[in-house]
Chains A and B, each alone.
Chain A
Amino acid sequence: MYAFEFERPSTVADAAKALGEEDAQALGGGQTLIPTLKQRLAMPSKLVSLSGIAEIKGVCKADDGALCVGGGTTHATVASEAKADYPALAALAGNIGDPAVRNRGTIGGSIANNDPAACYPSAVLASGATVVTNKREIAADDYFQGLFETALDEGEIVTEVRFPVPEKASYQKFEQPASRFALVGVFVAKYADGVRVAVTGASESGVFRWSEAEAALSSNFAPEALDGMAPPADGMISDLHGSADYRAHLVGVIARRAVAAAS
């Protein structure tokens, strides 16, 4: 690792100020950033730790029924505290990596990083959630912009993610056993006004909505509604773990499993 300065402010305002400095970078749980720094793939002049900011931690319910998860909330906390209100989200968080990763990694770090195989982006997109930052609110449909790309500006901090709670939902992931990330993961969420389906792990441009499946499931919310369906293999990731055709096929299979498991 290259050397850097380290700061651990206790408010979002102080963190935002520190992040205003050139080449300063936010540190969430460090579960992605620390390995990146060890490989010298990043060279921040200063790390601004968000772990001391109480105001961006925890899970709560908004007046409109949405579930609000603070940007600095760990996966372990979401797994236990979202269980009653949004069980599919809690289950997703409880299956990220392993227990030690879940005790440090945060939702803000996961969606700021937007790894194409990460789990959370699919929940945020399928729920039509709102990403709240220290500057503005961003709709999920505008937030994810491709491989490791998001709508966040330099130094912008994810302070909260607001999830409208669906009637039924499920996230199923076909785990890549070495990394424990998703080889393919599908999040299905049924709302009164329709079904949203988000796919992670599969596409070269990151998480995406599978609109054909959404249309089919909105008229019939049953696994059979997706019989024979799979997204085109064009643009799917092809690597030693699976070809593009294989991944496209898996999306259909995993989506049907998610619908069958939705509760």
Chain B
Amino acid sequence: MPQVSMTVNGKPASGEVEGRTLLSTFLRETLGMTGTHVGCDTSQCGACVVHVNGDAVKSCTMFALEAEGADVATIEGQAAADGTLNAIQAAFQEHHGLQCGFCTPGMVMSAAALLKENPKPSEAEVRKYLSGNLCRCTGYHNIVKAIMAASGQDVGAIAAE
């Protein structure tokens, strides 16, 4: 079987895979990193979003072998080593941006990609950016609020939609 090597959250990771092994499967089953969730497995829900060379991608819709040599970032690498949450995670907690938490890893990784590209997004820009991340619990309102707060913007004025 082919061997694949990449960097995951700054550390080298490798393993044997098949051609058809998805990146999400490699992360969850080979590396045991189950923070990346698989909700739909059909490219719709975004629970499996990770970063590959800095870009948000759906890891259920990419083969592990396509990530050969790549720099991969997952939810496990977002908090500091001592467990201190990063600004986006802390804002999700503070603003109740999650209920069951299933969509949250993907939401946080998408939010991180958005804020890197657009540090002060408008509410409409946040909602548009999250079009590929589905949440069946929150109604999105507090997720949007958390992301706006994480970007350092005042969230008092965000209206429920």
Contact = CB atoms under 8 A, between A and B. Distances in A.
A99 B110 CA distance: 8
Contact of A51 (B19, B20, B66, B110): B66
17 contacts: A2-B20, A3-B20, A8-B65, A8-B66, A30-B61, A30-B62, A30-B63, A31-B43, A31-B61, A34-B61, A34-B62, A47-B19, A97-B132, A98-B131, A99-B113, A99-B114, A103-B55
Interface of B: 2, 18-20, 22, 41-43, 46, 49, 52, 55-58, 61-63, 65-66, 68, 110, 113-114, 129, 131-133
Interface string A72-98: 000010000000000000000000011
Interface string A38-62: 1000000001010100000000000
Contacts of A5: 19
Decide if the interface of chain B is mainly helix, strand, loop or mixed. Answer: mixed
Interface in A1-57: 1-6, 8, 27, 30-31, 34-35, 37-38, 47, 49, 51
Contacts of A34: 22, 43, 61-63
B56 A99 contact: yes
A31 B19 CA distance: 16
Contacts of A98: 46, 129, 131-133
A99 B133 CA distance: 10
A100 B20 contact: no
Nearest to A33: B61
A6 B63 contact: yes
B55 A30 contact: no
A14 to B, nearest CB: 16
A85 B113 CA distance: 26
A51 B64 CA distance: 13
Given A6-B65, A34-B63, A101 B42 contact: no
Given A6-B63, A30-B66, A101 B58 contact: yes
Contacts of A168: none
B68 A8 contact: yes
A103 B63 contact: no
Contacts of A3: 18-20
B52 to A, nearest CB: 8
